[in-house]
Amino acid sequence: MLISIENVLDKDEVRQFRQHLDQAPWADGARTAGSLARLGKHNLQLPDGEEPALSLGRHILRKLGVNPLFISAALPRKIYPPKFNKYEGGGNYAAHIDNAVMPIPGTSTALRSDLSATLFLSEPDEYEGGELEIEGALGLQSVKLDAGDMILYPATSLHRVTPVTRGARIASFFWIESLVGDEANRTLLFDLDQSIQSLTAALPEGDAQVLKLTGIYHNLLRGWAST
């Protein structure tokens, strides 16, 4: 399931992010990849644990914490601190699957990567190429969103970033461990929650069928969630 979440950051926030990122100390992104992925990773990244990545990442997490669509789709238990990358001058990332378990920087805990997220910080007309290509049950899907919009997709997916042949593609990326690790169950809960929200808006307050469906949702979540 791919979920596009619009306006995680508004245009003014994107401009402020870009002002910081345009002056940031970018480094070779291959240094942070695994031994196999390193061979196909050609981009730049901000160093972890330093400014401006820390403050910008915290801002993203605050926005996601009050985003109903993100919460409904991800059911987040843990979120990896957002990282930032840049692709330019032919930069690309060959097909790969993200690591299943990732130590969270600065802590003694780890995260199971159930979902991957890319928050676009460059407008589509600022660069050529740079599509995020994700292989899934529906085949290959190509993603290139407006700045401030985010794509959420299963971390189990084979995915790649195509070469950027003009301009620069700047984005934030991170991973989420969900309360519901099973993708099929999580998708079912998301579909049910979206239906409940639609019915709640269309039917009188306190409608018995909406209350019944809400109870079913929470009982399923109670049975499938790990805390």
Mean pLDDT of 56-74: 98
**Residue 156: what pLDDT?**
96
**Residue 34: what pLDDT?**
55
Return binding residues.
96, 98, 159, 169
pLDDT digits (tens, 9 = 90+) for 95-148: 999 999 999 998 999 999 999 999 999 999 999 999 999 998 889 999 999 999
**Residue 38: what pLDDT?**
62
So where are the chain's domains?
3-178, 183-224
Please report which confidence band the pLDDT of residue 225 belongs to, taking 50, 70 and 90 as the band edges. very high
Return binding residues for Fe cation.
96, 98, 159
Task: Name the CATH superfamily, with its identifier, for domain 183-224.
Answer: Rabenosyn, Rab binding domain (4.10.860.20)
**Residue 183: what pLDDT?**
96
What is the crossing angle of helices 208-224 and 183-202, to 10°? 160
Could you say which architecture CATH assigns to the domain 3-178?
Sandwich (2.60)
DSSP-assigned letters across all residues of 160-219: EE--EEEEEEEEEEEEEEES---HHHHHHHHHHHHHHHHHHHHS-TT-HHHHHHHHHHHH
Return binding residues for 2-oxoglutarate.
169
**Averaged confidence pLDDT in the chain:** 95
Paired with 83 in beta bridges are: 173
Residue corresponding to tokens 């990545």: 53
Cβ neighbour number for residue 23 with a 10 Å cutoff: 8
CB 46 within 8 A of CB 27: yes
pTM as predicted: 0.94
